[in-house]
Amino acid sequence: MGKNYAVIEFPLEKSVELVPKSWLRKNNTKCLWPLNLRGNNLANAIRRRICPEEDWILLDARLLRSLDDYNHGRRCVESITNI
């Protein structure tokens, strides 16, 4: 099975998030991000791996880990952010 999700760090924002691999660009150094989605809407977009839209912004990113399971990815993010 392919790796559908990525745990990424947004260095400028000092945050870590789980995103679909399809949101990554430029050799995994950039990530498209939807400014219009928040909370459950954002979580659902990530879980369903929706395609990026034209109005999304491109942020600096650093790939920390690739995973094939959404729930495992959420646990990874939680373990990183709870350090």
CB 52 within 8 A of CB 30: no
Q: Which domain does 13 fall in, by range?
A: 5-81
Q: Is the pTM of this model over 0.85?
A: yes
Q: Per-residue pLDDT tens for 34-51?
A: 999 999 999 999 999 999
Q: Is the pLDDT of residue 1 over 60?
A: no
Q: Which residue's entry shows tokens 């260095």?
A: 11
Q: Is the pLDDT of residue 22 over 90?
A: yes
Q: Is the pLDDT of residue 66 over 60?
A: yes
What's the structural domain count of the chain?
1
pLDDT value for 82: 83
CB 20 within 8 A of CB 5: yes
Cβ-count burial 24-62 (b if 16+ within 10 Å, e if not) = beeeeebbbbbeebeeeeeeebbeeeeebeeebeebebe
- DSSP letter (8 states) at residue 68: S
Confidence of residue 2 (pLDDT cuts 50, 70, 90): confident
